[in-house]
A and B are shown apart, each in its own frame.
Chain A
Amino acid sequence: MIELLGIEAIGNVVRAASTVGAVLAEALVLYVAYGLLTRVAEPVVRETIEGV
């Protein structure tokens, strides 16, 4: 029983670490991807708005 509880506790920690890791990974990917998108799209958007 104690062993089962121990395994469950470790499982919970692993699951929590995976959740935080997944959010971190998504944030880093989005930081790079949206950074590139902004660099490409910003001059075009600014030019379009200023020209209206």
Chain B
Amino acid sequence: MSEVVVTRPDPRTALMARLLRLLRWRVWVVEKLQPTEWQLTLAWAAVAGFLGALASQGFRRGADLIHHALTGSDSGIVDSFRALPVPVRVVLPAFGGLLAGAILLAGKRIAPGQSSTDYMEAILIGNGRVPVRSSLVKSTAALFSIASGGSIGREGPMVQLSAVLASWVGRWREFSRQRLRLLVACGAAAGIASAYNAPIAGSFFVAEIILGTIAMESLGPLVVAAVAATLTTRGLSDAHTLYQVPPFTLHSAWEMGPYIVLGMLAGTVAPLFLRSLRSAEHVFAQSGLPVMARLAVGGLIVGVLAAGVPEVCGNGYSVVVSILNGGLGWKMLLLVFACKWLATAASFGSGAPGGAFTPTLFMGASFGFLFGHAVHAIWPSAAIDPQPFALVGMGAFLSAATQAPVMAVIMLFEMTLSYDIILPLMLCAVIAYYAARGLSAGSLYSESLEKKAAAEPEPMRGPGAVRDLMKANPPAVKLTARFDEVARLFLDASFGNLYVVDDFGRFIGAVSLNDIKPYLSDPEIAAHVIASDLVREDFASVAPDQTLAEALRSFAQYDGQRLPVVEKVDTKLVGSLAKNDLLLAVAEQAQARHLTKS
């Protein structure tokens, strides 16, 4: 039996022992729960998803409330307009435009000088900062233009609001520029997922159209945000499959022939549709009208069209449902198609805040249905039913307009849950994409983004060197720092390695949490071990002027999440570089190269 002498420790030793015991438990807890930077990114992506869904639901309810206040009806926009007297149909969208314009004008006083609110711009060519006040002003204006019957999508502002919240959260958490932009992208994915009840499409929309990559570094957080948003939306509302469609059967391979033609035609018409929107924008801009008058005129055009064809109002959702279920004859649809085109150009061109995504779906559905009907008239066995052509037309038109065929296929599949349609849909989407690219290099989003990028007085330069990405003032200790100070800093910094510098701030090496962990309960060690005893001098580092590719090579030889950034000449520790930020920046560079080439 061993004897143990019981002596009363001096107060300082007792205090140290108590502190170390506490630290040991805290390190244990932190280590067990300590998330890596990737896990943290995923967690914040989920938060962005949740908040995005709340924002989307809030906007949806807000639009319904204002719609009820303006029309006295709880029905959809098209049904409400049908029930209104003709003079009201004419005036209401103009009145809504006037109100939206007034809000935008007032907003300029509330948020003067704030930069662009466009979330895509913030992700692609900006720094991830989406101004909150001007975004709220724009969204409020959108509520009026949408609720008063404007031929514009309400999903755009929902996505915008979701992205704003994500940007706000990222700024609050002081995210690096790369992580902030990724979080805004997560917000956008969440907005799309909750707007269309389509989490896969939400993720791929942002990955394919905005980020231009489906690398897991960005796709993973997008998926998490989209799933969180969809779950929240389903919890808060009766979210369901957006378009209920009748079953579709492909009777023979020959039926693919008309679909190939549909793909080519959709790929030709979609760029024309986009061009018409831009032309309308140009005409309104050239008119010199003040914003209120411009929006009122845009609304008035919609109102005049709605007097005869109320189907032009709103985003076109209810009309698409009707087309897909055979509720509209081809003559009527031809009229609606032409009027809706004009109405969308008027709303979009006048600057009515809202999105053009859902109206694009409408154009595709009607175009596909009309094409299917024509084929049926000429060759009945090749198009037994024109409704599947409407469905495939939506996908093809979307693919051509957004130049994102993968997203288009996934979105159509997710919105209809019709797997039978997948073969013609895939083929048609790809053909439409190539046809559209042959005619025009721009997509629904790329053109305005390119203009904005060119108009930037000081274009945002992508990170070219480690210096651009590093985080300054990383936690570090001096060589003489005592063991308890080292342990305490580990808890505060939640990193696996703590940098050690000399009295002149020169980098010496790093203390690894793994090395000291077993000795946290040893008061004697704590009493006389200092950072100098623990530092590993062979710790990898990168220099601030190294390229990202060189830094990536350094990370390839190092199994950690963060490297110290050390000046080459005087070996001073100037910052730390997170692997997460580096990978995101490299992915962005690849995207930028791709854009430059195209």
Answer whether A and B are interacting partners.
Answer: no
Q: Which residues of B contact A (CB under 8 A)?
A: none
Q: Which residues of A contact B (CB under 8 A)?
A: none
